[in-house]
Amino acid sequence: MQAHDQLEEMRKQLDEAKDLENELFNKSLLIDSLQSELAHVKESYISAINDLNRLKLEMECLEKYNSERAIYMESMETQLKQSQEELLNATEEINSLKHQIEAVTVEMQKSRENLAEIQEKEKEAQVEVALLKSEIHKEKAKVAAAEAAEARGKSSNLGLYLAVQQLAVEAEKAKKETKRLKQKALHAEIIIDTENLIREQEMFMAEEPGLKSAIACPDSSGFQSGIIISAEEYQSLLKKASKADQESSQSLVSKNAYELENLKKELEAKTEEIRGLKSVADEATRRANMAENAKMAIEDQLRKWREQKQRRRAALAVLCNVEAQFLNWLGRNRCHRRKCFTAPKK
């Protein structure tokens, strides 16, 4: 009975020993597993340290990037405010320039209308000038004709003077012949008839057309036919004819000269008017060119502002794209670190 109890006791001890061995084996396996897990944890720790260092570098880069981005954003905000102010000023300037362009357009329209009117007036003035020149040519022709008539009159006076001299010689001869006839006359009736004939001849010479016809019709002997006057009367007649001819010529020349002078003055006035019209037309053309140049300058300035605005928008788009790419890359790295820190469970 005692042996049986000892055997039972030993069996229990053996079972306990087996249990201890099993427990020891399990503990050994657990230790191996823990050691393996510890090694894995150490590797994960080293990897985490490396990731932490890399993360620190990334954080430093991110902080530097954020700092640079903040500076850049401040600069962009400053530029944006400046651009807004410039845009506001440009808008005001554009509005002012639009009003100026409208005013210049109205002025250009008026200038064009004035220019058309001036051109029409210039054409009319040119026609008037042509007419005045034609009138001047006509008046010059009249003056030339008057001068020619005066020359012909002088030539006629010269012929008349020669004829008068011839008549004076014949009158002297007639007087001598009359005296001789008076001395030889036997009857008083012959003397009376001779005196009547002389008076009739003097009255006949007093008439200028009759004198000219008598001068124009010489007889075959080369002397004037049957005209007997005294030399004093004939000299007086010559003076009267010369004076009348001179007064007529002077009156005609003076009248033509006066008309010619008036035409010259009118021509000068029309020429001055044409100069004034041309000056107004040149001024209108100059203002139109100035308005066109101002319009081109405004369009060029607007084009530069649009290009600058497009460049700023493109720069902002590039900045936003780079920021999005950086944030995506940072998110992928964080996911990778979470996977590395997560240990496998057994």
Identify the CA nearest to 164 among candidates 250, 239, 77, 62. Answer: 239
pLDDT in tens, the chain (346 residues): 677 777 788 888 888 888 888 888 888 888 888 888 888 888 888 887 888 888 888 788 878 877 887 887 788 788 888 878 887 887 888 788 778 778 877 877 887 787 778 778 777 767 776 776 666 666 666 666 666 666 665 555 555 556 556 666 666 676 676 666 656 654 444 445 555 555 655 554 555 444 444 444 444 444 344 444 455 655 565 566 566 555 555 565 566 667 667 767 777 776 777 777 777 767 777 777 777 777 777 777 778 877 877 887 787 777 777 777 777 776 776 665 555 545 444 4
Identify the CA nearest to 227 among candidates 215, 209, 241, 243. Answer: 215
Distance CA 68, CA 76 (A): 12
Distance CA 292, CA 101 (A): 9
Extents of the domains making up the chain: 2-109+300-341
CA distances from 40 to 45, 48, 55 (A): 8, 12, 21
Name the burial class of residue 87, with classes exposed (0-12), middle (13-18) and buried (19+) by CB atoms within 10 angstroms of its CB: middle
Distance CA 129, CA 116 (A): 19
Q: Cβ neighbours of residue 86 under 8 Å, at least 6 residues apart?
A: 305
Helices 231-341 and 188-206: angle between axes, nearest 10 degrees: 0
Tell me the one-letter amino acid at 197: L
pTM of the model: 0.33
